[in-house]
Structure 1
Amino acid sequence: MLDRREFIKLIVKGAILGNFYKLITPPLAQAVTAGDVKKLPVVMIETGTCTGDSISFDNIWTPTFSDILSNILDWRYDWSMNQAQGDAVYQVLQDTYTKMPYEYVLLVQGAMIRSDAGHYDHVAYEQGKLTTGIDLVRRFGLKAKYVVAIGSCAAYGGPVSGYPNPTRATGVQNILPERRVINVSGCPAHPDWIMGTLLHLALYGEPELEKYGRPKMFYGETIHNRCPRRYFYDQGIFATEIGQKECLYRVGCKGPVTYADCPIRRWNDRYNWPIGCNTPCIGCTEPGYPDLMSPFTAHLPDISLPGGTKVTTDSVGLGVLGLTTAAIVGHVSASLYTGRIQRNMLKSTVRGKHRFTLKKAKTFHRYRVKKS
């Protein structure tokens, strides 16, 4: 019989190496039988979302979603998964809040919608009134044992917060500053990232997090570091268009600034991933996605280095890759913290509108002159 320590080591090894499907099922069954795994109460609240992370999680290969619900998690509330409805399911939600304070895990999927005091996003009907996503997440988040934001929308705002962001969408951490939010980003998040984080919470507690609140065991290295096409990058051999087999950096790959283990974990039961399909990484796990990474197929701009020098990204490879990649990461981080990205987008949009309006005016003037 596998003891608890061996089981935990196996779980963590499976999470890190990306081989849940080979390691988890037999020892999980033994651990459950031995009583080593206590089911973790989970409440899922969906806010400004497309439900893509639920669909991704539902497609987990091993353990199966049935295994998860039967043996690992006490999945108490999720409006996409609940069989009950109305007062019956709402009572389960309330019982979790009142009878299990600081025991349950709050999973949040979707961005926090702040415009109009959150009334663009109603998630419950309580005592004759509609409840906003912000209100419910804050209430349950303050009494949760752990708060986990799954998907880039919940983690950092994601596509919902894209420019010009009329709903003032943002990530969970910004509306729950009192709590340390664990961010499992991705568009959508890989099912192993979600399940691996929950397993770690159930067995070990909070995992080690990096500076953006993501578990290091999944987001500890860049796509670029583990990419099977790294050889081409180092040799300066780049694809000139999407679909080619060489390094895709020149056609927009954001792998050098994107932290995730997609190259070893892959998708669709470990069969493929974007670069395996000859398309660039679009950086969906990063803060600032999608605005920061757009256009997805555009080559990264020149990078300003300390001391006022500038290195063109065309010189990447053959000796300067370490310096240039570090500069790109620094540029991205600095832009995020200073808000420069949003301001630059605003300026470029205004300039674009001005040029467009001026062009229309000149065309209209020429038309009037010609007609008269």
Structure 2
Amino acid sequence: MLNRREFLKLVVKGAILGNFISLVTPELEKALAQGDIKKKLPILMVETGTCTGDSISLDNIWTPTLSDIFTNITEWRYDWTMMQTQGESAYKVLLDMEETLAHEFILIVQGSIARRDNGHYNYAGLENGQMVTGLDLVRRLGLKAKYIVAIGNCATYGGPASGYPNPSQSTGTQTILPERRIINVSGCPAHPDWIMGTLLHLALYGEPELEKFGRPKMFYGETIHNNCPRRRYYDQGIFATDIGQKECLYRVGCKGPVTYADCPIRRWNDRYNWPIGCNSPCIGCTEPGFPDLMEPFTNHFSDITFPGGTRETTDRIGRGVLGLATLGIGGHFLSSLYKGRLHRNLIQSTNQVKKKIQLKKAKTYHTYRPKKSQQ
């Protein structure tokens, strides 16, 4: 069977050369034939306050290959949007899993979780004639799951549903399950590779290495900015002045310097394109605080304060203060910096925009400090 190092190499290779799933599947088939995979992981997906965008995203990767993975590597037991059965018979599957497979199943949460009035702004089931809130169901199942995977920005950090003034007091999964370690697969929506790659890692090797916001490092280890094909324009101080232009989009609101994801190499829609490839700036959809902390999407501002007080300064990133080796900047950058081209072209902070956003969001976000998983 693939060892973990080989698997991680295929994650990157799949993004650069083609479909990640199609590259991994032959090795998984060998493992199945040799009996290396002893037990399939049962999966239960619960949707709360969601637009179902992450299900649609995942559906876009469905092929016979992925179907084989569902059949042989995992058991997709409960997902109300994709199940043939509905109503009581569907919900009975969920109850049976809770009773017979406690601490063995993976719980996937899609959608933000409303907390106001004890969660009675969102219902996720009907049990014994009583409506069950998404808040109660996720908490109940989360305490019995082997792993919890939150997919999409709503389930991970609250997303658009938690935007100012947040009348439903919506939040992400970690907030309502502080005693559990949540694996956050963020994005609006999350890329299908990010979702399936995380599930495959859980099935084969257990929990992946996570970064400070609980996201798998194999997908969220570097900023958009580091791998952007327009990085050379940035280093030379050549900036677009309007959306639709071919130069670096930093001045027209691109949040790539503070956004962690591998979109530049993985891309979207079967790898045909991505926002910057369409001459539109990155809007930071994988980050905590999206969308409010990233708005206005087409306005440049140099400082973004994330939950917990972490401040990322895009001008400092551009000047290499966070480490030339980390950013992979070569001699050309040093030359540009020495000649003053970057300094002349970097824009001063838009303080009014920052203050407006910070005032709006001061009471909305939470610090995410995942605790160790309860097995």
Give the shorter-chain TM-score range: 0.7 to 0.9
Report the counterpart of residue 192 of structure 2 in structure 1.
191
Equivalent position amino acid for 1:11 in 2: F
- Measured in 1, the distance between the counterparts of 2:361 and 2:264 equals 34
- In structure 1, what is the Cα distance between the partners aligned to 2:125 and 2:48? 10
Q: CA RMSD in A?
A: 2.9
Call closer, same or farther: CA 1:32–1:155 in 2, change over 3 Å: same
User: Taking structure 2 as the reference length, what is the TM-score of the superposition?
Assistant: 0.80
Q: In the alignment, what sits opposite 2:275? A: 274
Question: Which has the higher relative contact order, 1 or 2, with Cα contacts under 8 A spaced 6 or more apart?
Answer: 2
Q: 1:344 aligns with which of 353, 359, 362?
A: 359
Q: Shift of the alpha carbon at 1:16?
A: 3.3
Deviation at 1:313, TM superposition (A): 5.0
What are structure 1's unaligned runs of at least 5 residues?
305-310, 348-372
- Offset, 1:147: 0.6
The count of residues paired between Structure 1 and Structure 2 equals 326
**Cα deviation 1:101-136 (Å, max 9, x = unaligned):** 110000000001111210110000000100000100
Aligned to 2:24: 24
Name the structure 2 match of 1:98. 99
1:273 to partner: Cα distance: 0.6
Larger gyration radius, structure 1 or structure 2: 1
Q: CA deviation at 1:224?
A: 0.2
1:25–1:62: 8 Å Cα contact kept in structure 2?
no
Cα distance, 1:315–1:239 mapped onto 2, change above 3 Å: farther
Aligned to 1:85: 86
Partner Cα distance (1:9, 1:157) in 2: 33
Residue correspondence of structure 1 range 157-172 to structure 2 within 5 A = 157-172=158-173
Q: Which residue matches 1:261?
A: 262
| TM-superposition CA deviations, 1:172-204 (whole Å, max 9, x none) | 000000100010000000000001110111111
Structure 1 residue 312: Cα displacement? 9.7
Query: Would you say the 8 A contact 2:293–2:304 is kept in 1?
Result: no
In structure 1, give the amino acid aligned to 2:34. A
1:34 corresponds in structure 2 to 34
Taking the aligned partners of 2:304 and 2:45, their CA distance within structure 1 comes to: 41
TM-superposed CA distance for 1:95, in Å, is 1.2
The answer for the alignment partner of 2:132 in structure 1 is 131
Q: What code does the residue aligned with 1:14 have? A: L
What residue in structure 2 maps to residue 140 of structure 1?
141
Report deviation, 1:70.
1.6
One-letter identity of the residue aligned with 1:177? P
Cα distance in structure 2, aligned partners of 1:97 and 1:175: 19
CA deviations over 1:205-254 (Å, ceiling 9, x no partner)? 11111000000110000000000110000000001111111100001100
CA distance 1:342–1:173, change in 2 (3 Å): farther
Distance 1:341 1:287, change over 3 A: farther
Relative to structure 2, which stretch is displaced further, 77-86 or 117-126? 77-86
Alignment of 1:277-356 (within 5 A): 277-301=278-302, 318-319=336-337, 344-345=359-360
- Report deviation, 1:303: 8.3
Residue 12 of structure 1 is matched in structure 2 by 8
SS at match of 1:24: helix
TM-aligned CA distance change 1:81 to 1:341, over 3 Å: farther
Quote how far apart the aligned CAs of 1:90 are: 1.7
1:228 aligns with 2:229: yes
Aligned-residue offset at 1:29: 2.2
- Residues 66/341 of structure 1: CA separation in 2 closer, same or farther (3 Å cut): farther
CA contact (8 A) 2:268 2:274 kept: yes
* Aligned-pair CA distance for 1:25: 2.7
Q: Give secondary structure in 1 for the equivalent of 2:57.
A: helix
SS of the equivalent of 2:171 reads coil
The residue identity in structure 1 corresponding to 2:359 is N
Q: Cα 1:68–1:314, aligned 2, differ >3 Å: closer, same or farther?
A: closer
Q: Distance in 2 between matches of 1:116 and 1:155?
A: 21
Residues of 1 paired with 2:91 and 2:361: CA distance?
Answer: 43
Between the two proteins, what is the percent identity of the paired residues?
65
Structure 1 SS opposite 2:125: strand
Q: TM-score, normalised by structure 1?
A: 0.81
Aligned CA distance change for structure 1 residues 21 and 312 (closer, same or farther; 3 Å): closer
Looking at structure 2, the residues matched to 218 and 263 of structure 1 have their Cα atoms a distance apart, in angstroms, of 11
How many Å separate the matches in 2 of 1:21 and 1:135? 34
Question: Is the alpha carbon distance of 1:203 and 1:314 closer, same or farther for their aligned partners in structure 2, counting shifts above 3 Å?
Answer: closer
Q: 1:312 to 1:205 in 2, by over 3 A?
A: closer
Letter in 1 for 2:84: Q
Name the residue aligned to 2:67: 66
